[in-house]
Amino acid sequence: MPDIVRDMWDYLTSDAAWTGNRGLPALTWAHVKLSLVAVVVAGVLAIPPAVVLGHVRRGALLAVSVVNLGRAIPTFAIIVLIFPFSLRWGFGLGYWPTLIALVFLSIPPIFINTYTGVREAPADALEAARGMGMRGHQIVREVEVPVAWPLIITGLRISAVQVVATATLGALVGYRNLGTPIVQGFTQTNKGPLLAAAIAVVLLALLTDAVFAWAERRLVPWRRPAGRQADVTITAPQAATA
């Protein structure tokens, strides 16, 4: 055990760890960039339909199916399944198969949380809005979406943490990120880079969670009703929702 720690120390104090496109900063940036794009794309794809379905109060079965399917399909399997197709259709190695799989992975939590938040907007608030003469799209914009914000951000947070964790697997199909030293390290004698990268990934996941927790507090100064959150954590207990 001390051996591996010494290996890590040697690695961390060498130039190789900090410079070039194989250094930890470059790998971390590649990791963050991919995760960010994946969550943004998933948000753009998932939030509008979820808002519309939640507004018209239809599609509960669809919402439940999306969550169950997202849970049942292993991400690793998706990455490697997309991989051969990606090569065939000229999208190449690494980036695209990983990105597509990560988008699939992050749609369910964002979708279900947005849907639940909009659908369960308090009846008296809706009634008041209608009484003030608001029309459908105004109700969506000024009542339902603001009320759903806490849940939407929670959905983004669950997705983002999962995406950061799973992006590591992109290393297996040739996307160079923090997973690369881990994957290579399993078959190498010098386990220093492996341990350093593993710790970096854990820190990155925790940091992502912390950033969203902070955003949640900043953007949603009022407190989140406890009951509604419980409903979501039962159906999708997928990540740390402190």
Partner 1 sequence: MSGLGRVLAAEPLVDWSWVGDHTDDIWANFWEHLQLTALAVGIGFVIALAMALIAVRWRAAYGPLAAFCAALYSVPSLALFAILLPFVGLGFDNALIALTGYTLLILLRNIVTGLDGVPPAVREAADGMGYERWRRVLRVDLPLATPGIVAGLRIATVTAIGLVTVTALVGEGGFGRFINDGLSRQFSTPIVLGAVLSVALAIACDVMFVLLERLLVPWARVGAPGDPGRRHLVRWSWHRRTADA
The verdict on 44 binding partner 1 (CB under 8 A) reads: no
Cβ(182)–Cβ(197) below 8 Å? yes
The verdict on 26 binding partner 1 (CB under 8 A) reads: no
Judged by phi (left if over 0) then psi (alpha if -120 to 50, else beta), residue 177 lies in beta
Q: Is 140 helix (H, G, I), strand (E, B) or coil?
A: helix
When the beta carbons of 143 and 191 are compared against partner 1, the nearer one is: 191
Residues with Cβ within 8 Å of residue 122, at least 6 apart in sequence: 147
When the beta carbons of 27 and 198 are compared against partner 1, the nearer one is: 198
Interacting span for partner 1 (CB under 8 A) from 19-27, 44-52, 130-138, 161-169: 161-169
Cβ(71)–Cβ(109) below 8 Å? no
Name residue 214's amino acid: W
CA distance 94 to 135: 47
Q: Is 130 helix (H, G, I), strand (E, B) or coil?
A: helix
> Could you give the string, one character per residue 97-126, with x where binding to partner 1 holds by CB under 8 A and - elsewhere?
------------------------------
When the beta carbons of 56 and 199 are compared against partner 1, the nearer one is: 199
Name residue 230's amino acid: A
Cβ(80)–Cβ(101) below 8 Å? no
Interacting span for partner 1 (CB under 8 A) from 37-45, 49-57, 87-95, 126-134: 87-95
When the beta carbons of 44 and 214 are compared against partner 1, the nearer one is: 214
Dihedral Cα 53, 70, 35, 221, nearest 10 deg? 50
Q: Quick one: which of 40, 44, 206, 215 contacts partner 1 (CB under 8 A)?
A: 206
Interface ranges with partner 1 (CB under 8 A): 1, 4-5, 60-61, 64-65, 68, 71-78, 80-81, 83-84, 87-88, 92-93, 161, 164-166, 168-169, 171-174, 179, 182-183, 185-186, 191, 194-195, 197-199, 201-202, 205-206, 209, 230-231, 233-235, 237, 239-242
